[in-house]
Chains A and B, each alone.
Chain A
Amino acid sequence: MSCRSEHIRIVDTTLRDGSHAVKHQFTLEDVKSIASALDEAGVYGIEISHGDGLAGSSIQYGWALYSDEQRLSSASEVVKNNKIAILLIPGIGTKKDLQRAIEHGAKIARIATHVTEADISEQHIKMAKDMGLEVMTFLMLAHMESPGKVLEQAKLMESYGADVVYVVDSAGAMLPDDARARVGTLKEHLTVEVGFHAHNNLGLAIGNTLAAIQEGATVVDGTLCGLGAGAGNAPTEVLVAVLDKLSYKTDIDLYKIMDAAEDVMRPRMHRPQIIDMASLTLGYAGVYSSFLLHIYKAAERFKVEPLDILLELGRRKVVGGQEDMIVDVAYELSHRE
């Protein structure tokens, strides 16, 4: 168990995971204002990428308004005290994309794979380490596998050089005991730090993050106002307040992070970040949170029910990145009648 004076590092991913909630339409002014407010408040890592990582801008995942390099350059102009992070999902982004991101100011590389596919990240992790970056790795949709399997994959990432291995609840499907079991197993058997990334589809983003911290996670993610895929992430400002009440150290100024959420983020939101029926079903069925807005779009295009698409996706065991299957399912449902 953790002692209360323990230091917890927070990576804010408003400008990456939050990008899903604005359909990847952040302007460079949004990037500068949000990154600057996070830097001012003292957030350890500020993640900037397309929601699906570097090179995610595509028909499959949605076009971003600006390139990864443009958004990184804008953030680099204003981030003075803390570190800029990027996300890279092998299979979508490549080492070339990572190289360019480093040239544009990235200091933390976050390399993500599906929870069973850690071995596709070896080259990217090694390259980021060789170039002097801090490397945090993600095992996505970690609720789909047992703690033992998560550990097996985490050990691979550790062996490639990861500094932190994250348990990522991409579908917001975990209950606190699920988070505890996975983080606890990793903490017991890894020598590197353990991280946790939550989604709020079951209303447990803060609760699960706290459970993870109590099991020894020392790096956790949040977004301003909880902006993010599905029902969103753990709201950074709430996380800071909760950790402050529990006497954990985050080095983040509570008032400043609350101001960043209220004055900088909230006016820029496209839709309220709530747990509606579809996002609740994402969590309940264990489907990748980023699918939400794509599901609404396909439901409208093919005149079918979002929930029917969602449940079929859950049945087919789709993994992160398979947004094309939403169209496949919607097409099939529309031709069933």
Chain B
Amino acid sequence: MNENRVNVAIIGPGNIGTDLMYKIINRSKFMNLKLMVGIYSNSEGLKRAHDLGIEASSNGIDTVLRDKSTKIAFDATTASAHLKNAPLLERAGIRAIDLTPAAVGPYVCPIINMDEHLNRPNINLITCGAQATIVIVAAISCVTKVKYAEIVATIASKSAGPGTRQNIDEFTQTTARALEVLGKAEKGKAIIILNPAEPPLIMRNTIYTVVEEQNKDKIVAAVEKMVKKVQEYVPGYRLRVPPIFDEDKVTTMIEVEGVGDFLPRYAGNLDIQTSVALAIGDRIAEKLVGEEAKSR
């Protein structure tokens, strides 16, 4: 292993896990993808990992737990699987970055609170809708008190997997809560819409806020600055409609196009999650590399 990189594993070789695999291989500065594990030997994702020379196993999490060199594991399985995986990873001293809605660890957004949680055993990436919208609410919250934040996330039907579909309430409830906890809105509400149009539409997010002071110039500047920051780790994150003001209501619209590492470009909702995972994984890995160097 390269001493400037940390060994990591992906649990769950589905669409998300596979996209994350390509992101780590192509874009990571501090991580070395050592392992890809699943539970089905005929998994397409495992086959792709194997073909890329990555150790691929269908023995599930046990392979990760036995591998003494792995420091970080990305869990791209399901909430119920992660609830079982989380304590096992913690006991093995492996940092868990959780892409499921299990929320064992704190909600983390790269821009808002990543550095507070770098030493946590478990980090949760909230929802795609939250990652796309809480940053805007947080930006506005820095200018004025946000009394209410409401977001509408519209995604292509094809990009919504069975997990999202069977637990759609989890999306709305978790996203609404993140608007309050990380966006600092006094009250949050979230709506999700699946649109089956062909060709599939690119992920869209509308962010409504009710603000205390309508400081238009400052709000517009804060939102534009925030969009640029997000673009550093989600290149396809774009301001579609800059803040529109109606009395105390501010409406902002965002489009998220994926970079197409593995998933189609319209699936910005999935790309933003794997991009966030990459950003957080790299930040933790950078810190671990630094600590390693110091102890040598």
A303 to B251, CA, bound (A): 18
Ordered by A's residue number, 27 sampled pairs between the chains whose C-beta atoms are within 8 Å are A59-B150, A59-B210, A60-B150, A60-B208, A91-B192, A91-B193, A91-B194, A92-B172, A114-B194, A114-B196, A117-B194, A120-B165, A120-B168, A123-B168, A317-B197, A319-B193, A319-B196, A319-B197, A321-B191, A324-B152, A324-B206, A324-B251, A324-B253, A327-B244, A327-B253, A328-B204, A328-B253
A150 to B210, CA, bound (A): 40
Q: Residues of A contacting B168 with CB < 8 Å?
A: 90-91, 120, 123
Q: Residues of A contacting B15 with CB < 8 Å?
A: none
Q: Residues of B contacting A123 with CB < 8 Å?
A: 166-169
Say yes or no: A317 contacts B165, CB within 8 Å: no
Give the residue name and chain of the B residue nearest to A124 (CB). Answer: B169
Given contacts A327-B241, A331-B244, contact A92 B169 (CB under 8 A): no
Interface string of A105-138 (1 = CB under 8 A from B): 0000000001011011011000000000000000
Option from A117, A120, A322 in Cβ contact (under 8 Å) with B154: A322
A85 to B251, CA, bound (A): 33
- Seen from chain A, the residues whose Cβ lies within 8 Å of a Cβ on chain B are 58-60, 90-92, 94-96, 114, 116-117, 119-120, 122-123, 301, 316-319, 321-322, 324-325, 327-328, 331
Option from A58, A116, A301, A319 in Cβ contact (under 8 Å) with B150: A58
Give the residue name and chain of the A residue nearest to B191 (CB). Answer: A92
Say yes or no: B169 contacts A95, CB within 8 Å: yes
Give the residue name and chain of the B residue nearest to A145 (CB). Answer: B196
Q: Residues of B contacting A94 with CB < 8 Å?
A: 169, 172-173
Give the residue name and chain of the B residue nearest to A61 (CB). Answer: B191
Q: Residues of A contacting B194 with CB < 8 Å?
A: 91, 114, 117, 120, 319
B240 contacts partner chain A, Cβ-Cβ < 8 Å = yes
Option from A58, A90, A301, A327 in Cβ contact (under 8 Å) with B169: A90
B246 contacts partner chain A, Cβ-Cβ < 8 Å = yes
Given contacts A324-B152, A328-B240, A328-B253, contact A119 B166 (CB under 8 A): yes
Given contacts A94-B169, A324-B253, contact A318 B195 (CB under 8 A): yes
Say yes or no: B169 contacts A60, CB within 8 Å: no
B157 contacts partner chain A, Cβ-Cβ < 8 Å = yes
Q: Residues of A contacting B208 with CB < 8 Å?
A: 59-60
Q: Residues of B contacting A114 with CB < 8 Å?
A: 194-196
Q: Residues of A contacting B197 with CB < 8 Å?
A: 316-317, 319
B177 contacts partner chain A, Cβ-Cβ < 8 Å = no
- Residue of B168, B172, B196, B246 with highest tally of chain A CB at under 10 A: B168
Q: Residues of A contacting B251 with CB < 8 Å?
A: 59, 324, 327
Give the residue name and chain of the A residue nearest to B162 (CB). Answer: A119
Q: Residues of B contacting A325 with CB < 8 Å?
A: 154, 204
A331 to B194, CA, bound (A): 23
Say yes or no: B166 contacts A122, CB within 8 Å: yes
Minimal beta-carbon separation of A328 from chain B (angstroms): 6
**Number of residue pairs A-B, CB distance < 8 angstroms:** 89
B189 contacts partner chain A, Cβ-Cβ < 8 Å = yes
B249 contacts partner chain A, Cβ-Cβ < 8 Å = yes
Say yes or no: B249 contacts A59, CB within 8 Å: yes
Q: Residues of A contacting B246 with CB < 8 Å?
A: 301
Give the residue name and chain of the B residue nearest to A57 (CB). Answer: B189
Which 9 interchain pairs have the tightest Cβ spacing?
A317-B197, A324-B206, A94-B169, A59-B208, A116-B196, A91-B192, A321-B193, A120-B168, A119-B165
Interface string of B232-263 (1 = CB under 8 A from A): 00000000110010100101010000000000
A117 to B155, CA, bound (A): 12
Give the residue name and chain of the A residue nearest to B209 (CB). Answer: A59
Say yes or no: A322 contacts B195, CB within 8 Å: yes
Q: Residues of B contacting A301 with CB < 8 Å?
A: 246
Q: Residues of A contacting B157 with CB < 8 Å?
A: 116-117
Interface string of B192-219 (1 = CB under 8 A from A): 1111110001001010101000000000
A94 to B157, CA, bound (A): 19
Minimal beta-carbon separation of A60 from chain B (angstroms): 5
Say yes or no: B172 contacts A60, CB within 8 Å: no
A319 to B154, CA, bound (A): 10
A95 to B166, CA, bound (A): 12
A122 to B165, CA, bound (A): 9
A96 to B177, CA, bound (A): 15
Interface string of B159-177 (1 = CB under 8 A from A): 0001001111101110000
Say yes or no: B191 contacts A91, CB within 8 Å: yes
Minimal beta-carbon separation of B256 from chain A (angstroms): 14
Can you name 20 extra interface pairs (CB under 8 A) apart from A123-B168, A322-B193? Answer: A58-B150, A60-B191, A91-B168, A91-B171, A91-B192, A91-B194, A94-B172, A96-B173, A114-B196, A116-B196, A119-B165, A120-B168, A120-B194, A316-B197, A317-B195, A319-B193, A319-B197, A321-B193, A322-B154, A322-B195
Q: Residues of A contacting B210 with CB < 8 Å?
A: 59
Option from B152, B195, B253 in Cβ contact (under 8 Å) with A319: B195
A13 to B13, CA, bound (A): 47
A321 to B172, CA, bound (A): 14
